[in-house]
Structure 1
Amino acid sequence: MNFIDVLLNPPQNLTVGEILIVSYILGLMHGATPDEHTWPITFSYAVGKYSTKGGMKAGLLFSLGFTAQRALLTTLGFLGLAEIYNRYNLDGPVYIIVGIVMAIAGSYILRGRYVHLPIDRLLGSEHHDPLAERSQVRDPPIKMTIVHGLIAGFGFGAYASIITFVLAPRMPGLIYAPLPGVMFGLGTMTMQIIFGALFANVMRLKKLTEEDVKFVGSKTAGRVLYYGGMTFSIVGLIIVLFPTIDDWAVSTGIPIPNLNAIDVGFLLVVSVVGILGVISMIMSYREIKQMKPKEGEVQKGNTKT
């Protein structure tokens, strides 16, 4: 039995310390692999904060909420009250709620309000003033990441199954029950902080000014949260209406959860972080380039007067 097999199928004779170590390593794996409950949120807020420190903070705050929920989950697992996850598929409702919260945060960043449908922005329409729009874009509400983490923590996958139904029941008492969830959350937090820092510094590759980086980062975050939130909610609604869709998967042959199959969750990560994230970044960068001549014209106009 190799190391991965031991982690995914923990032996019966593990000590409390070994259980906690396994939980932490599983958290590292969870945070390092493309997971639809973590990557889209961390990417959005980290890019929006456009600095190593800001990106790390985004990963930290998200993971704090996620860790708290995982501690609750393993406690329920110890008490035998997590059976609801075996009886019902909660992916659909969780996607819907996560999507709504994402869209609310994205709307706030883009327009400073909570109800808005900027479809023309996504399609690249020019029926707006870029300079006026620049003044309307707000910084991502970083504290919202805790709320996202709490909600996303209710998503359930292979890693959650191991800590909830395998490791948590082996703890010696109720007071120890939250610890596998805490360690799992800390492992996830470690990787999310690292990825948060990496995501945030993507904005600096083009050598833009600090003000330009701030705009591109916030605009990208707003778009990813807003349209990514719509995507999550629509997919969640489809799963609620047609639950068998959530069972669709194409095996990759990789024996690691989140990498072992191309499924709905994997496609969500690719769509929101990969496709939508890249498109939003390119659009925001082009908008900055379009603004530059106009700002120069304004300055010339002012010198003439």
Structure 2
Amino acid sequence: MLNPPQGLTLSEILIFSYILGLLHGITPDEHTWPITFSYAVGKYSTKGGMKAGFLFSLGFTIQRAFLTTLGFLGLAAIYKEYNLDGPVYFVVGIVMAIAGSYILKGKYVHLPFDELIHKRREGENLRDVPLKMTIVHGLIAGFGFGAYATIITFFLAPQVPGLIFAPLPGTMFGLGTMTMQIILGAIFGNIIKFKGLSEEDIRYIGIKTAGRVLYYGGIVFSIVGLLIIAIPIIDCWAIPTGNPIPNLDAINIGFLLVVGTVGTIGIASIIQAYREVKKKVEKNKAAQVKKI
């Protein structure tokens, strides 16, 4: 599967592409997981999480169809000549930060570092998570290039019978990714369903977490992107794991970005928002007791 042979039929190429998309969608990828996680948590429901995964993957699929068309035409060679990880990380980070800024402050540009020191009143200035932005994220993130993209672009796309079929491997790869991202979105959308909390409390935790992950995660992505642009060798650093599956085969910059945004910033944001909600609940209870 990871080393497809020559002489495949169109049907076989499309099946290969879809299965590779499934693997891409389920493994921790820095171009997919942070975005799906952020928006799915922000919608705090199965349906909202699935929609987040679908819309993000829709933009991603459109770009992948374009990418395999370039691969068929031989125009994707730019990826062999230049390392675009740095610029892609930087742009993805900027878009993440803009979306997070809107959610947290209702503005598209702000510096919420005061949150690290001073907590604002619960719910103040928070905006609903703009799911349509996920399509933009998907289009941009699709320009990221890894092992899976290499296979569909340089090995599968050139084997299709003609230019009219060139977008199909990318489309099937995107649909495979979409399948798993919808499933993951449903899971991510339910991880903050804490017992004993009201719908409004859960909404607050979800939106606050989404905003913080997008904003601070976006800053991390942008910084890493700038570092790779300045010092390209950083992107080559990796510790092999012995697992042959891409995204699981090494601990590298991409893997650390997933862990840093989803694992570290995501979990820390959930815990912080949960504590804020519990503090508010306890304060309200104390006020009711005082009235009695």
TM-score range, shorter chain: over 0.9
AA partner of residue 204 (structure 1) = K
Match of 2:121 in 1: 130
Paired residue secondary structure (2:192): helix
* Contact 1:130–1:291, Cα closer than 8 Å, also in 2: no
1:106-145 maps to which residues of 2 (within 5 A)?
A: 106-121=100-115, 123=116, 125-126=117-118, 128-131=119-122, 134-145=123-134
Match of 2:156 in 1: 167
Q: Which residue, out of 65, 68, 71, partners 2:62?
A: 68
Q: Which residue, out of 231, 239, 260, partners 1:271?
A: 260
Pairwise CA distance, 1:299? 6.1
* 1:266-285 deviation line (CA, Å, top 9, x unaligned): 00000000011000000000
RMSD: 1.4
* Contact 2:7–2:159, Cα closer than 8 Å, also in 1: no
Q: Which residue, out of 88, 98, 119, partners 2:92?
A: 98
Pairwise CA distance, 1:138? 1.3
Match of 2:32 in 1: 38
* Cα distance in 1 for residues equivalent to 2:77 and 2:197: 51
Pairwise CA distance, 1:300? 7.4
Matched residue pairs, number? 292
* Cα distance in 2 for residues equivalent to 1:264 and 1:79: 30
1:293 pairs with 2:287:
no
* Cα distance in 2 for residues equivalent to 1:267 and 1:180: 29
Unaligned 5+ segments in structure 2 are none
Paired residue secondary structure (1:250): strand
* Contact 2:209–2:273, Cα closer than 8 Å, also in 1: yes
Pairwise CA distance, 1:135? 3.4
* Cα distance in 2 for residues equivalent to 1:20 and 1:214: 40
* 1:173-221 deviation line (CA, Å, top 9, x unaligned): 0000000000000000000000000000001144421111100000000
* Contact 2:194–2:202, Cα closer than 8 Å, also in 1: no
1:199-238 maps to which residues of 2 (within 5 A)?
A: 199-238=188-227
* Cα distance in 1 for residues equivalent to 2:225 and 2:120: 35
* Contact 1:96–1:234, Cα closer than 8 Å, also in 2: yes
1:19-34 maps to which residues of 2 (within 5 A)?
A: 19-34=13-28
* Cα distance in 2 for residues equivalent to 1:13 and 1:113: 53
Paired residue secondary structure (1:204): coil
Deviates further, 250-259 or 292-301:
292-301
1:246-261 maps to which residues of 2 (within 5 A)?
A: 246-261=235-250
Unaligned 5+ segments in structure 1 are 1-6
* Cα distance in 1 for residues equivalent to 2:5 and 2:15: 13
AA partner of residue 47 (structure 1) = V
Q: TM-score, normalised by structure 2?
A: 0.97
Match of 1:54 in 2: 48
* Contact 1:71–1:180, Cα closer than 8 Å, also in 2: yes
AA partner of residue 180 (structure 2) = M
* Cα distance in 2 for residues equivalent to 1:238 and 1:135: 35
* 1:6-35 deviation line (CA, Å, top 9, x unaligned): x11111121100000000000000000000
Pairwise CA distance, 1:295? 3.5
* 1:53-89 deviation line (CA, Å, top 9, x unaligned): 0000000000000000000000000000000000000
* Contact 1:130–1:287, Cα closer than 8 Å, also in 2: no
Q: Which residue, out of 136, 149, 161, partners 2:138?
A: 149
1:182 pairs with 2:184:
no
